Chain A
Amino acid sequence: MALPLNEIEWAEPILPAAPDPQWEAELRRRGGRPFEVDRRIASSPWLREAAFAVTSYQPVALSERLVRIGSMVTAQENACRYCYGANRAYLKVLGYSEAFIQSVERDVQLAETDPRDLAFVEFCRSLARSRPRPSRSAREKLLRLGYSAPEVAEMAFLIAMGCFYNRVATLIACPPELKFERMANGPIGLLLGFVTPLLSKLRRKAPQGVPDGSAADAQWATGAFGPVLATLAGLPGARIMKAALDGAFASEVLGPRTKGLMFAVIARTLGCPHCEREARKLLAAEGLTGAEVDAALATLQTDRLPSDQSDLLSWSRDTVSYDTPSIQRKTRALAAQLGDAKLLEAIGTASLANATVRLAMLLE
């Protein structure tokens, strides 16, 4: 059962804030503002870009309303105190009433609620939880209810990347944005709740529609986890995932073997043969034999990784489904072995692998 906000146990930060003034200036130039998470991941170029891409994503198929609701539900399901609090507060600023927010977070099935909305919330919870990962029939149900294929793909992408961001924030135990939460729940938030909907009505843009990017998208299918990226054909999410995956595997803070094995472990935990196959291809290119990968996956240990990374595989498996205090304790223990830079890279990699394998449900 998803916990309410005030019942989520949250540890002291595992990684310290290490602000990068240049990156913060760049975020402001792009129209964003640095969050607590950004201050803790700024040292990893691929990770900070991926995190920015998630928070600044403009949907092209889904409505902004569903995106906002989906983000909160996903964060709630992942018991991420940081993201759940921030998304909840953001909904208040956007003018959603406390009663509406509570009905969503408590899963109250109001008679007047659109069955499409209910199915959407159910899909968010089910994919975020992934115990087990939703099957093909869950996707077909959404299509039957009238969602288009690009809408379902964008939903899966947003939930998957929500899981990515939730994990990054949870695994570093990022301090919640309490100032923003207080503002949203106070008189200023109330005022903004009146003004923001009016302003957005004036500026309202319909979802842009999915551009025909099939030709440009052909390139996605050739790289790492190409078949998964191909499910996002025509959506900006394909470019975001591609950049994150390429960036993660190009980064040298942890070796490609480590990352390939982490992806393989997470694929096996979630029972995804497609992603396990992709991870095995990467590992073969790194010189690991099939038998070596089999052995590593069977025991979650291998001598083909440096000794300081020996616990990374079992920790990766634990990032798939967890109870927040327990995964934060395990991550703190890992920090003692790896040091801050490698831990941050491991957190980014595990979070991205969780997103990729969840997204791969579109291949079923």
Chain B
Amino acid sequence: MTGLAWSLAALATLVALVFAVLWCRSARESQKLLLAADQKLEQLQRQFQRFVPEDVVERLTDSADVLVPERRHVTMLFADLRGFTALCDRLDPAVTVKILNDYFGHMQRAIVKHHGHVTEFVGDGLLALFGALEPNPWQARDAVLAALDMRSELASYNETLRAQGLPELRFGIGIHGGEVVAGVIGTAGLAKFSVTGDPINVASRIEGLTGRMQVDLLITDDIRRLIGDEFDLQPMPPSVVKGKAEPIQTYRVESAAKDRRRAEPVAGPS
């Protein structure tokens, strides 16, 4: 082989090597870019979860799973603070926001613990849904248990407020269930996962009744039928609400029957 052939072979090898190195570097760069883009996407997803329930984010970002609107049985829980607007006028805005955020934190904890999710905070009120994102055969029971936990959470938060010399909070909760349309509702610019239908109006009216009846937690007869005798209920006088021709029968939830049994003294030989 001539010197020229050797030189050409060496040159070709060198060129091949340079190409291989460049290719490897470019592949590594692409890999790095992809991972960085994915990390950014993850971060965005986490931030998004502050505004929308995790399950909704999961389903919206998963291309294989589109949140198709559907008709389903959902239990709705409305909670509203009593007299908070008047309180706002007296308190420093920063304190007001802190109280509200802490209160919502306590309430959300109770709701999530019982398989519900908060779909919106409006002013000092909130709407929680049970069985909206996936079928839940125990949605009525879950909603009532969540409401009882919300009551305990509020009591514990009030102790904190009292210790800080701040005014205590009072709330009203209304629970009702029925068939609604669930889906992403809104415009291209602003949308949320929520439900629409007559039962949601009824749930809101029931929450409104708590103020009139001076109680903190009311459920409808539909919910009572679904939860059986698991809770101690006190029937309230039937009430007419806006949009309904017939008066609605409601019940105040006292406690879980199990708690009552635990509290009862055990009879036995002394």
A148 contacts the other chain (Cβ, under 8 Å)? no
- On whether A1 and B46 interact (CB within 8 A), knowing A295-B228, A299-B141, the answer reads yes
Query: Which residues of A have CB within 8 Å of B31?
Result: 99, 103, 110
Query: Which residues of A have CB within 8 Å of B34?
Result: 103, 108, 110
B15 contacts the other chain (Cβ, under 8 Å)? no
Asked if B228 and A326 sit within 8 Å, CB to CB, the answer is no
B35 contacts the other chain (Cβ, under 8 Å)? yes
Alpha-carbon distance A300/B198, docked complex (angstroms): 29
Alpha-carbon distance A317/B136, docked complex (angstroms): 11
- On whether A131 and B35 interact (CB within 8 A), knowing A299-B230, A300-B141, the answer reads no
Picked from B42, B113, B134, B135, the residue with its CB within 8 Å of the CB of A1 is: B42
- On whether A107 and B135 interact (CB within 8 A), knowing A1-B54, A1-B57, the answer reads no
B159 contacts the other chain (Cβ, under 8 Å)? no
**Residues of chain A from 186 to 219 with CB closer than 8 A to chain B in the complex:** none
Asked if B228 and A1 sit within 8 Å, CB to CB, the answer is no
Interface size class of B (residues with CB under 8 A): 20 to 34
Asked if A1 and B58 sit within 8 Å, CB to CB, the answer is yes
- On whether A300 and B138 interact (CB within 8 A), knowing A122-B64, A326-B113, the answer reads yes
Query: Which residues of A have CB within 8 Å of B38?
Result: 106-108
Closest to A141 in B: B64
Asked if B35 and A108 sit within 8 Å, CB to CB, the answer is yes
B158 contacts the other chain (Cβ, under 8 Å)? no
Query: Which residues of B have CB within 8 Å of A102?
Result: 35
**Residues of chain B from 218 to 258 with CB closer than 8 A to chain A in the complex:** 227-228, 230, 258
Query: Which residues of B have CB within 8 Å of A268?
Result: 137
Closest to B228 in A: A299
Query: Which residues of A have CB within 8 Å of B45?
Result: 1
Query: Which residues of A have CB within 8 Å of B133?
Result: 131
B166 to chain A, nearest CB (A): 29
- On whether A301 and B42 interact (CB within 8 A), knowing A99-B35, A131-B134, the answer reads no
Alpha-carbon distance A1/B64, docked complex (angstroms): 15
A16 contacts the other chain (Cβ, under 8 Å)? no
Do most interface residues of chain A lie in helix, strand or loop, or is the interface mixed?
helix
B259 contacts the other chain (Cβ, under 8 Å)? no
Query: Which residues of A have CB within 8 Å of B228?
Result: 295, 298-299
Q: How many residues of A contact B (CB 8 A)?
A: 24
Which of B55, B138, B230 is packed against the most chain A CB atoms within 10 Å?
B138
Picked from A1, A103, A300, A317, the residue with its CB within 8 Å of the CB of B35 is: A103
Asked if B135 and A271 sit within 8 Å, CB to CB, the answer is yes
Query: Which residues of A have CB within 8 Å of B46?
Result: 1
Closest to B141 in A: A299
**Residues of chain A from 104 to 152 with CB closer than 8 A to chain B in the complex:** 106-108, 110, 122, 126, 131-132
Query: Which residues of A have CB within 8 Å of B54?
Result: 1
Alpha-carbon distance A23/B101, docked complex (angstroms): 53
Closest to B39 in A: A106
A273 to chain B, nearest CB (A): 12
0/1 interface trace, chain B 129-167, chain A, CB 8 Å (1 if under):
000011101100100000000000000000000000000
Alpha-carbon distance A332/B228, docked complex (angstroms): 29
> What are some 20 contacts across the A-B interface (CB < 8 A)?
A1-B45, A1-B54, A1-B58, A102-B35, A103-B34, A103-B35, A108-B38, A110-B34, A122-B64, A126-B64, A131-B133, A132-B134, A268-B137, A298-B137, A299-B228, A300-B141, A301-B230, A310-B258, A317-B138, A326-B113
A299-B141, A326-B113 given; name 14 further pairs at CB < 8 Å.
A1-B46, A1-B49, A103-B34, A103-B35, A106-B39, A108-B38, A131-B133, A131-B134, A295-B228, A297-B137, A298-B228, A299-B227, A300-B138, A317-B138
Binding site for A on B (CB under 8 A): 31, 34-35, 38-39, 42, 45-46, 49, 54-55, 57-58, 64, 113, 133-135, 137-138, 141, 227-228, 230, 258
